[in-house]
Amino acid sequence: MNGILKLLVAVVAGIAAWGSSPAGGAEAAIVVQRSPLAGFRHHDAAQTWRQLAVGERLQLVREADNPYDPNAVRVQWRGMMLGYVPQRDNAAVARQMDRGTALEARVALLRENRNRSVRIEFEIVAPLTGGNPQ
């Protein structure tokens, strides 16, 4: 799915609540993408995934100098590397991060599965600024 279509799907899907503002109201965000975590068995995800919870915030770190993928975006939790945004899904995310777009991520789904590539799914969201839409 191309970037524009993904954005349209996210807008049609609605605005998701994300975190809390200092005033106690919910901040709004648009879900840009939902993906399985790539590289589960090669990084810290295998050791930490039982400590993760749905909704847990994750950090996205751009790796523009990655020798294997110029669009690489690392996914971390509490400073531990879990894996990557899948290569098939990372070009639009990398482009937005390179432009300075604020993107956030959170755990969307955790499941026990022999196929390690589908154990953790995460969402990438773009927070809406300027308060809650009415």
State the pLDDT at residue 47. Answer: 76
**Length, in residues, of the chain:** 134
> What does the pLDDT average to over 36-62?
85
With a cut of 80, say whether residue 22 has pLDDT above it. Answer: no
Query: Measured at the alpha carbon of residue 113, what is the angle toward residues 83 and 108, in degrees to the nearest 5?
Result: 55
Could you tell me if 51 and 107 are in contact, meaning their C-beta atoms sit under 8 angstroms apart? no
With a cut of 70, say whether residue 25 has pLDDT above it. Answer: no
With a cut of 80, say whether residue 41 has pLDDT above it. Answer: no
State the pLDDT at residue 5. Answer: 39
> What does the pLDDT average to over 5-20?
41
Could you tell me if 88 and 71 are in contact, meaning their C-beta atoms sit under 8 angstroms apart? no
CA distance 131 to 134: 9
Give Cα 16 to chain centroid, integer Å. Answer: 14
State the pLDDT at residue 27. Answer: 63
pLDDT in tens, 76-130: 999 999 999 999 999 999 999 999 998 999 999 988 766 655 588 999 998 886 5
With a cut of 70, say whether residue 75 has pLDDT above it. Answer: yes
With a cut of 90, say whether residue 44 has pLDDT above it. Answer: no
Q: What's the pTM?
A: 0.72
